């Protein structure tokens, strides 16, 4: 990546500590140096596991969404099917086994 003024630049991590570490949620506090030289000593990062989303299409090109309750947000949302990739999982982009949809191709975006 070029280093011109319009390109985003990474922050330098000066110090990092895990301040909350539970099975379903982890919170880290970093001290960072910004590209402009300023430092932040209390930048909080929600540490999350790897996740995968699918973009399933029906034969007539309709997108399939799931409707589910999200407790943290306090509401019901419509979203693409997906979830956490468990360690050692061989097929993170699986569709529900009871579904009649089939995976045609997978494009990994990193």
pLDDT in tens, 90-109: 665 555 544 445 555 555 55
Q: Is the pTM of this model over 0.85?
A: no
From the list 16, 17, 12, the residue with the least C-alpha distance to 39 is 12
Residue corresponding to tokens 């009649």 = 100
Mean pLDDT for 30-58 is: 91
Residue 22 has pLDDT above 60, yes or no: yes
Alpha carbon distance 39, 42 (integer Å): 9
Q: What is the reported pLDDT for 90?
A: 64
Q: Tell me whether strands 66-70 and 12-21 are parallel, antiparallel or unpaired.
A: unpaired
pLDDT tens by residue, 3-16: 566 899 999 999 99
Selected residue with higher pLDDT from 90 and 33: 33
Which band of pLDDT confidence, cut at 50, 70 and 90, is reported for residue 83?
Answer: confident
Residue 27 has pLDDT above 90, yes or no: yes
Q: What is the reported pLDDT for 1?
A: 47
Quote the radius of gyration of the chain (alpha carbons, Å).
19
């Amino acid at each position: 990546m070029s280093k011109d003024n319009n390109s985003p630049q990474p922050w330098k991590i000066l110090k990092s500590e895990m301040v909350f570490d539970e099975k379903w949620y982890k919170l880290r506090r970093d001290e960072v140096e910004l590209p402009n030289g300023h430092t932040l000593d209390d930048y909080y990062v929600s540490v999350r596991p790897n996740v995968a989303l699918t973009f399933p299409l029906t034969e007539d090109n309709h997108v399939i969404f799931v409707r589910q309750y999200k407790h943290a947000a306090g509401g019901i949302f419509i979203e693409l099917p997906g979830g956490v990739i468990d360690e050692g999982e061989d097929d993170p982009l699986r569709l529900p086994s009871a579904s009649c949809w089939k995976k045609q191709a997978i494009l990994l975006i990193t």
